[in-house]
Amino acid sequence: MEFKTDQWGGARLVVPDEPTLFQVLDFDSKRYGAEGLPTILILWEMAKTLIIEWECEVLPDKDISLVDMKAMTDRAHDAGKIIEWAGTIVSAYRRGLENVPKN
């Protein structure tokens, strides 16, 4: 499944149509292992476990370290908005996996 935004310089990400059990558990576990981080960064860390393709001019490396984030000033607002967008869109996608189709 693909998600795109043209805001904040644009981004594109792809998550699996049907994630594996491991991927789901890895995603869900990230919220417990990221204590002490701001909520948006926790959502971002969770999202990265399911993102299988990533394209973004402002943030080309989705695996940017927290140390590098602390030093990043160039287009920091746009990168922050992209991180927030990706974290929330992938979280909504994950919650949607729990919806059982009604016959």
89 located within any domain: yes
16 located within any domain: yes
Average pLDDT over residues 70-83: 94
**Which domain covers residue 6, as residue numbers?**
2-96
35 located within any domain: yes
Give the C-alpha distances (Å, rounded to integers) separating 96 from 6, 7, 19, 59, 83.
23, 24, 12, 26, 20
b/e sequence 65-97, b meaning 16+ C-beta within 10 Å: eeeeeeeeeeeeebbbbbbbbbbebbbebbeee
Q: What is the pLDDT of residues 2-11, one digit of tens each?
A: 999 999 999 9
102 located within any domain: no
> Domain total for the chain?
1
Q: What is the pLDDT of residues 28-75, one digit of tens each?
A: 998 887 778 899 999 999 999 999 999 999 999 999 988 899 999 999
Q: With a cut of 60, say whether residue 100 has pLDDT above it.
A: no
67 located within any domain: yes
103 located within any domain: no
- Predicted model pTM: 0.87
101 located within any domain: no
Q: How far apart are the first and last CA of the chain?
A: 23
Tell me the two tokens of residue 63.
Answer: 């695996």
